[in-house]
């Protein structure tokens, strides 16, 4: 029993690392594709068998790597604990107009843990890293492809990352409550999803629809 638990824990951590890495590249891809930051602020990097553009801006990198991703991995790692409480977690990339702070796009990624399946006697199906990577690749490709139908961001924009967490979660001091940044008149498109053997990430994008 203990050995299996340990095994699960290891896979959980590994899965969390995969998920957070996906978010790093996914967020970078969104920022580049949607033109939130100028193209000269990005450099090419090979990942998942794709060439993904990653920011070179120090401030942005520290924000993502020091503040967001560790927190994300922590949250993802703690998912099991929170799932017992019945909490649902999401990560939302909100693209806002800098001047008015109006939300123009929401990239929502719902993180579901497959713990329930695992706790029931069926052991989790071991999933090959290559298949996971191919799934992630499909998601990132789809994000890139969405540029064709999403409306052009004509005004200067910036982004924010929202976490849907358990209400009882004690957040670090630098974190604060936020609104959900909902878009009133929005169109929604569901994106592909991928799953490690432990986590499942469902993507969706909703954007301001104006005739």
Partner 1 sequence: MDEDKLSVYYTPDNTKVMRIMGDFTNFLNTQRRAAANRSSPFLSSIPFNIAKDETLQETSTEVVKPETALSNVEMMLKIKNMEAEFESVKKAQVKANIELESKVNQFFSENCHLKEKCDDLQFKVKQLTSKSLELIDETKSAKKEKNDEISKWESSYSQLHKVKQEADDRVANDLAMNANKNSQLQEENMNLKSHVNILELRLEEMSSHMEHFTNKINEAQEATHLHQQRETQIQELKRELRELTSRLSEAEDAEKMAKIFKEDLSRLRQLEIEYKRLVEENHKLRENQENAFLLNEKLLLAESKLDRAEERCAKMDNLEATNNNLLARLKSLDNNQSVTSKYNELSSQVLELRHMIEFLEERNATLESEHVILSKKYMSEKQEKTVLDAKLAEQQESSSSLSAQLIRLRKKAGLLAHERDSIRSILQSYDAELTSTSHTTQLSRRLQNSEDANRKLYFRIEQLENELQKSEEQKLFHKLRAKQLGGPEVYPSAVVCPTPSQCMKSENANDSELETLKVKIEEYEKERITMHDKIEHLETWIEQGRIKGDYNPENTKVLHFAMNPSALAHQKSKQDVAQLKADNTELRKKITELQQGHEVSISEVEISRTAKEQIARAELRNQRLKEIFSKKIQEYRQACYSLTGYRIDTSTDSRFKLLSMYAESESDCLLFEMKPDGTMQMLETEFSKSLEDLISLHLHHQNSIPMFLSALSISLFSQQTMMLE
Residue whose pair of structure tokens reads 């695992």 in the numeric block: 118
8-state DSSP, 59: H
Binding to partner 1 in span 191-210, by CB under 8 A: 204, 206
Q: Under a CB-based contact definition with an 8 Å cutoff, are residues 205 and 135 in contact?
A: no
The end-to-end CA distance of the chain, in Å, is: 59
State how far the Cα of 95 lies from the Cα of 1, in Å rounded to an integer: 46
Q: In the set 38, 39, 86, 126, which binds partner 1 (CB under 8 A)?
A: 86
Nearer to partner 1 by Cβ, of 127 and 163: the residue is 163
Mark the segment that binds partner 1 (CB under 8 A) among 42-50, 116-124, 140-148, 151-159: 151-159
Three-state SS at 61: helix
Stretch 92-121: interaction string toward partner 1, x if CB under 8 A: x-x-x-xx-x----x-x-x-----------
State how far the Cα of 118 lies from the Cα of 189, in Å rounded to an integer: 30
Does residue 56 interact with partner 1 by CB under 8 A? no
What is the strand order of the sheet 89-97 is part of? 89-97, 103-113, 199-208, 186-195
CB of 59 to partner 1, least distance (A): 8
Does residue 178 interact with partner 1 by CB under 8 A? yes
Strand 199-208 relative to strand 103-113, pairing:
antiparallel
Nearer to partner 1 by Cβ, of 11 and 165: the residue is 165
Q: Under a CB-based contact definition with an 8 Å cutoff, are residues 152 and 95 in contact?
A: no
Does residue 149 interact with partner 1 by CB under 8 A? no
Strand partners, 89: 111
Q: In the set 69, 133, 163, 200, which binds partner 1 (CB under 8 A)?
A: 163
Residue whose pair of structure tokens reads 């290891």 in the numeric block: 10
Does residue 186 interact with partner 1 by CB under 8 A? yes
Residues that bind partner 1 (rule: CB under 8 A) add up to a total of: 49
Q: In the set 87, 117, 124, 200, which binds partner 1 (CB under 8 A)?
A: 87
Q: Under a CB-based contact definition with an 8 Å cutoff, are residues 97 and 113 in contact?
A: no
Q: In the set 63, 77, 193, 200, which binds partner 1 (CB under 8 A)?
A: 63
Q: Interface with partner 1 by CB under 8 A: which residues?
A: 59-60, 63, 67-68, 71, 85-88, 90, 92, 94, 96, 98-99, 101, 106, 108, 110, 156-167, 169, 171, 174-183, 186, 188, 190, 204, 206
């Amino acid at each position: 029993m203990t050995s299996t638990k340990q095994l699960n824990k290891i896979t959980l951590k590994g899965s969390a690392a995969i998920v957070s890495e996906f978010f790093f590249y996914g967020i970078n891809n969104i920022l580049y594709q949607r033109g939130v930051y100028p193209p000269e602020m990005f450099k090419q990097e090979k990942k998942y068998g794709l060439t993904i553009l990653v920011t070179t801006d120090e401030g942005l990198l520290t924000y993502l790597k020091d503040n967001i991703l560790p927190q994300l991995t922590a949250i993802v790692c703690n998912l099991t604990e929170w799932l017992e409480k019945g909490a649902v977690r999401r990560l939302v990339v909100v693209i806002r107009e800098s001047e008015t702070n109006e939300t123009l796009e929401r990239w929502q990624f719902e993180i579901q843990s497959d713990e329930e399946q695992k706790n029931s006697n069926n052991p989790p199906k071991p999933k090959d890293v290559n298949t996971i990577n191919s799934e992630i690749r499909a998601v990132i490709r789809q994000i890139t492809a969405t540029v064709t139908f999403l409306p052009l961001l004509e005004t200067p924009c910036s982004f924010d990352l929202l976490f849907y967490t358990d209400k009882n979660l004690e957040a670090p001091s630098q974190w604060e409550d936020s609104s959900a940044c909902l878009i009133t008149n929005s169109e929604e498109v569901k994106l592909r999803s991928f799953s490690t053997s432990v986590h499942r990430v469902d993507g969706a994008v909703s954007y301001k629809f104006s005739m």
